[in-house]
C-alpha cells in the first residue's frame, strides 16, 4: 500500500467554539448554492468559508481566514503527530443503523501509473484548476479524499476498535442526520502496527478523484520550486480517510438518471424501442419496481419511469454480444455502462459529451425524486438503477479502467471541518 503517515492536524479549538456541529460541512462538490448560504449563516467559522467561500476571490478569502483563525485561537495545531479514527453513524430509510469505520491519515501521493493508488472515475479540468488554486493560496488540504483498502481479516479494524473502546472521542457531532465521532491516536507503537498491516495493500479512491489529482499536480509544483526537495515534505502527502472494503458499514447508494430536453421524445415509442434488447414488464409504481430490481440480482435490470407508466426492463442477452469492441470486458459487467451505451447513447441519442456536461442528464440518489419529477413534467424519463458494488469498484480500478460519471455514491460523505492537513 502507499505509505501512510500520522500528521499534526489543524483543528477547531473546543476552548474557542463550544458548538462544533455548526462548523462542519460536506465536501465542495455536493454543496448547492442554497446550502452554501445556509452554512454561512450557521457560524462565522463554518468550514464552508474555507472549502467553498462566497467572496469574489474565494482563494484569498480562505487563506486570510486561516491566518485570522489561527491568530485568534479558533484553529489550533495538535502538538504531536497522530492518526484520527472517525466513525460515521447513519440510519437508512428502513430504520437500520449503519456505522462506517475508518481513520484519517496523510497518504503519500503517487502517479496512477505506479499502481499504488487506483482511480475508478475520470476527472474534469475545471474542478482540478479550482482546487489547485485553493491548495496554492492556502497551503492546506481543507477536505479529505476517501480511500479504500482490503483487509479481509479486519486487523486494522481490531487495532483501532480496541483503542476506540477505551478512549473518549475528541469530537462527537451530528450533521444532516449523520453522527461523526473522531478520536486521536498518538501512540507510536499502535500507529506502527496499523502501518505494518496496510503495507502490502493498494489504495482505491472511493471519492475525491479531483482532489487527489490536484494533490499530485501541487506536489510537482512545490518540488520544482524547492531546491532542497527530499520527498518527505508534507506536500508529498494528502489528507485521506481510509476504510476497509470489508467494513459492514460501508455503503454505496445508486445514482439514478433523469433525462430532459430531448427533441421529439415520445414515451410510448421509446418503450417500443426498448423491446429490441430488453424484456419489459409494466409495474404498479415504486413498490413493485423495488421488488422487481431486488429479484434481478445478476442480470442488467433497470426501472424506467415515464408519463405512460413504470416499467422494469432486463437485458435479454449477454452485454458482451452488444458491447464487444465498444467497451472492455470489465466495464461490460456494470449496469451503468449498459444503460449509458445501449439506452442513453444509442436509443436516445445522448452523446458522451452531453452526458459529461449534463446537458440532457441529471442525477439523484433519491428514487422518489425521479417519480416526482416525471409526475410534475420536469423530466421526460427517469431510470432507476441498482448500486455499484465495492468489488466492482476494485475490479475496474485494478483493470486500469474508469467508470461512467456518477457511477458511485458512497454514503455518508466525509465531512469537511473535522480536521485539516497543512502542506
In this prediction, residue 131 carries a pLDDT of: 97
Give yes or no for residue 227 having a pLDDT over 80. Answer: yes
Task: Name the nearest CA neighbour of 282 among 250, 304, 263, 307.
Answer: 304
Q: Is the pTM of this model over 0.75?
A: yes
Q: 272: left (phi > 0), else alpha (psi -120 to 50), else beta?
A: alpha
Distance CA(254)–CA(336), nearest Å, equals: 10
Higher pLDDT residue, 333 or 228? 228
In this prediction, residue 377 carries a pLDDT of: 96
Distance CA(300)–CA(321), nearest Å, equals: 13
Tell whether the torsion through CA atoms of 405, 330, 207 and 339 is positive or negative: positive
- Reading the block at residue 257, the C-alpha cell is 438518471
Q: How do residues 316-335 score in pLDDT, each as one tens digit?
A: 988 888 888 788 888 888 99
Q: Mean pLDDT across the stretch 380-385?
A: 98
Residue in the structure block whose three cell numbers are 416525471: 374
In this prediction, residue 325 carries a pLDDT of: 78
CA angle 302, 341, 333 (to 5 degrees): 65
Structural class in CATH, domain 255-386: alpha beta
Give yes or no for residue 156 having a pLDDT over 90. Answer: yes
DSSP letter assigned to residue 27 = -
Distance CA(216)–CA(46), nearest Å, equals: 27
- Reading the block at residue 352, the C-alpha cell is 458522451
Distance CA(206)–CA(218), nearest Å, equals: 21
Minimum mean pLDDT range among 41-50, 115-124, 279-288 = 115-124
Q: 371 Cβ partners below 8 Å, 6+ apart? A: 285, 286, 305, 310, 382
- Alpha helix segments (H runs only) across 6-79: 33-42, 48-51, 58-72
In this prediction, residue 355 carries a pLDDT of: 85
Give yes or no for residue 305 having a pLDDT over 70. Answer: yes
Give yes or no for residue 304 having a pLDDT over 90. Answer: yes
- Reading the block at residue 415, the C-alpha cell is 465531512
Higher pLDDT residue, 18 or 407? 407
* 101 φ/ψ angles, rounded to the nearest 5 degrees: -115, 135
CA 42 to chain CA centroid, nearest Å: 24
Give yes or no for residue 1 having a pLDDT over 70. Answer: no
Architecture of domain 4-251+411-422: Alpha-Beta Complex (3.90)
* CATH topology match: 4-251+411-422 vs 255-386: no
Distance CA(108)–CA(89), nearest Å, equals: 28
Q: How do residues 24-40 score in pLDDT, each as one tens digit?
A: 999 999 999 999 999 99
Q: How do residues 167-225 score in pLDDT, each as one tens digit?
A: 999 999 999 999 999 999 999 999 999 999 998 899 999 999 999 999 999 999 999 99
Domain ranges of the chain: 4-251+411-422, 255-386
Amino acid at each position: 500500500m502507499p505509505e501512510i503517515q500520522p500528521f499534526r492536524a489543524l483543528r477547531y479549538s473546543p476552548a474557542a467554539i463550544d458548538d462544533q456541529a455548526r462548523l462542519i460541512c460536506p465536501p465542495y462538490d455536493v454543496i448547492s448554492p442554497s446550502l452554501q448560504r445556509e452554512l454561512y449563516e450557521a457560524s462565522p467559522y463554518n468550514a464552508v468559508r474555507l472549502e467553498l467561500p462566497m467572496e469574489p476571490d474565494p482563494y484569498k478569502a480562505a487563506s486570510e481566514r486561516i491566518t485570522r483563525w489561527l491568530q485568534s485561537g479558533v484553529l489550533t495545531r495538535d502538538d504531536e503527530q497522530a492518526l484520527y479514527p472517525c466513525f460515521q453513524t447513519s440510519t437508512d430509510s428502513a430504520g437500520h443503523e449503519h456505522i462506517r469505520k475508518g481513520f484519517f491519515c496523510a497518504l503519500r501521493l503517487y502517479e496512477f501509473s505506479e499502481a499504488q493508488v487506483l482511480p475508478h472515475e475520470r476527472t474534469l479540468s475545471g474542478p482540478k484548476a479550482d482546487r489547485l488554486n485553493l491548495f496554492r493560496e492556502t497551503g492546506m488540504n481543507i477536505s479529505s479524499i476517501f480511500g479504500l483498502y482490503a483487509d479481509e481479516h479486519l486487523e486494522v479494524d481490531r487495532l483501532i476498535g480496541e483503542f476506540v473502546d477505551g478512549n473518549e472521542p475528541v469530537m462527537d457531532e451530528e450533521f444532516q442526520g449523520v453522527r461523526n465521532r473522531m478520536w486521536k491516536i498518538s501512540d507510536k507503537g499502535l500507529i506502527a502496527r496499523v502501518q505494518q498491516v496496510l503495507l502490502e495493500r493498494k489504495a482505491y479512491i472511493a471519492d475525491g478523484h479531483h482532489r487527489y489529482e490536484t494533490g499530485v499536480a501541487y506536489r510537482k509544483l512545490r518540488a520544482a520550486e524547492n531546491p532542497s526537495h527530499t520527498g518527505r515534505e508534507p506536500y508529498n502527502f494528502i489528507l485521506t480517510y481510509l476504510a476497509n472494503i470489508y467494513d459492514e458499514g460501508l455503503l454505496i447508494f445508486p445514482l439514478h438518471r433523469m433525462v430532459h430536453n430531448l427533441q421529439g421524445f415520445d414515451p410510448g415509442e421509446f418503450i417500443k424501442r426498448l423491446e429490441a434488447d430488453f424484456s419489459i414488464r409494466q409495474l404498479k409504481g415504486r413498490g413493485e419496481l423495488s421488488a422487481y430490481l431486488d429479484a434481478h440480482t445478476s442480470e442488467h435490470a433497470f426501472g424506467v419511469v415515464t408519463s405512460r407508466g413504470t416499467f422494469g426492463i432486463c437485458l435479454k442477452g449477454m452485454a458482451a454480444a452488444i458491447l464487444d469492441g465498444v467497451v472492455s470486458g470489465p466495464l461490460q459487467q456494470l449496469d451503468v455502462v449498459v444503460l449509458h451505451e445501449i439506452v442513453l447513447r444509442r436509443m436516445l441519442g445522448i452523446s458522451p459529451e452531453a452526458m459529461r456536461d449534463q446537458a440532457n442528464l441529471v442525477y439523484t440518489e433519491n428514487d422518489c425524486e425521479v417519480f416526482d419529477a416525471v409526475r410534475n413534467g420536469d423530466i421526460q424519463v427517469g431510470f432507476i438503477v441498482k448500486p455499484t458494488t465495492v468489488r466492482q469498484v476494485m475490479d475496474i480500478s485494478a483493470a486500469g479502467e474508469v467508470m461512467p460519471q456518477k457511477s458511485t455514491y458512497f454514503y455518508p460523505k466525509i465531512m469537511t471541518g473535522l480536521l485539516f492537513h497543512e502542506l
